[in-house]
Amino acid sequence: MTITTVGIIGAGTMGNGIAQACAVSGINVVMVDVSDAAVQKGVATVAGSLDRLIKKEKITAADKDAALARIKGSTSYDDLKAAQIVIEAATENHELKLKILKQVDAIVAPEVILASNTSSISITKLAAATGRADRFIGMHFFNPVPMMALVEIIRGLQTSDATHDSVKQLAERLGKSPITVKNAPGFVVNRILVPMINEAFFVLAEGLATPEDIDAGMKLGCNQPIGPLALADMVGLDVCLAVMDVYLAEFGDSKYRACPLLREMVAAGRLGRKTGRGVYQY
């Protein structure tokens, strides 16, 4: 399958990042969200990101204009009919994703591939809720999408070889380095990463060190580019909590119990950079 147009559901951090990656690679994008305001905010975020690349002399003003011209914003799923693949990039909520995917499944042509950008939810379960389980796959991008090279391509039990190969080729066209992963909670990267972030919250809650010293310790001692608490603020504390809750439910192992401090901060609305306050103030 030749992919010329990618549909994206969600114009937030991940959705607009995927849209940018596609658009700068010469692929047309239809980016759908629930409101015009959300769509326009997503397009504006892409424009701002491209402006920064112009300042760094990585692209030209003409490149920016061409990329933005490839992005069509919409609030209607009907506009996704032009796409050969639709990537769902909504909030990490199982019921929400199921609702969206069922709606899209009923609208787009049978040969269209459906993909989810989920970081933890079972691809096999999501696929089973659609009428095209063999053409359903996980395509997990990492934040910030324009900068991060990795894409986890997650095969559900039903995913066909042809679907996998088409999506892998798409990831490579975007300049990404895909890895193929079997379906399991958290897949590979987040299976390791999010419990580490959760443990950093336990260390913080126990008062063993300040947030700054915890992050400095992991940066200087483990050669990580960003500390786990600062990373949690970037990812979103609500996302980290949701992932830990999925692990606990799916594995039934108490080692995946979310730190009470993490849960408390989410309850307080301190979700990280997107709310201006998480572990750190922004």
- Side chain identity, residue 18: I
Cα 263 to chain centroid, rounded: 21
Does 26 show up as a binding residue in the annotation? no
Residue 274 assigned as binding residue: yes
Contacting residues for 268 by C-beta, under 8 A, at least 6 apart: none
Check the annotation: does 92 bind a ligand: yes
User: In angstroms, what CA-CA distances link 234 with 15, 41, 68?
Assistant: 15, 18, 25
Catalytic residue flag (residue 119): yes
Neighbouring C-beta atoms of residue 131, cutoff 10 Å: 11
41 is in an annotated binding site: no
Establish whether 143 is an annotated binding residue. yes
10 is in an annotated binding site: yes
> Could you say which of 88, 120, 152, 198 is catalytic?
152
Catalytic residue among 16, 116, 117, 119: 119
Q: Is 15 annotated to bind ligand?
A: yes
CA 218 to each of CA 71, 83, 223, 240: distance values in angstroms, whole numbers, following the listed order: 39, 42, 7, 18
Q: Does 119 carry a binding-site annotation?
A: yes
User: Which one of 116, 122, 190, 198 is the catalytic residue?
Assistant: 190
Cis peptide before 178 (omega within 30 of 0): no
156 annotated among ligand-binding-site residues: no
Catalytic residue among 88, 116, 140, 183: 140
206 is an active site residue: no
Distance separating alpha carbons of residues 155 and 249, to the nearest angstrom: 21
Task: Choose among 117, 106, 96: nearest CA to 16.
Answer: 117
- 116 annotated as a binding-site residue: no
Alpha helices in the chain (DSSP H): 13-24, 36-55, 61-69, 94-107, 123-128, 161-173, 189-205, 211-222, 228-235, 237-251, 260-267
List residues with catalytic annotation: 119, 140, 152, 190
**Binding positions for CoA:** 49, 56, 119
**Binding positions:** 10-15, 33, 49, 56, 92, 97, 119, 143, 274
**Binding positions for NAD(+):** 10-15, 33, 92, 97, 119, 143, 274
